[in-house]
Amino acid sequence: MIYSFLCPMPCNHEILIDAENDHDATTKLMLAGALRCRNAKYRCHCEKSKHYTSPMSEADLKRTIRMCMCEKPKDWDGQSAAAYG
pLDDT of residue 66: 92
Domain boundaries, the chain: 2-72
25 forms bridges with which residues in the sheet? none
Distance between CA 73 and CA 76 in Å, rounded?
Answer: 5
Q: Per-block average pLDDT, block size 10, for the chain (85 residues)?
A: 84 86 93 76 61 77 90 70 47
Query: pTM of the full predicted structure?
Result: 0.73
Q: Give the 3-state secondary structure of the chain.
A: CEEEEECCCCCCCEEEEECCCHHHHHHHHHHHCCCCCCECCCCCCCCCCCCCCCCECHHHHHHHHHHHEEECCCCCCCCCHHHHC
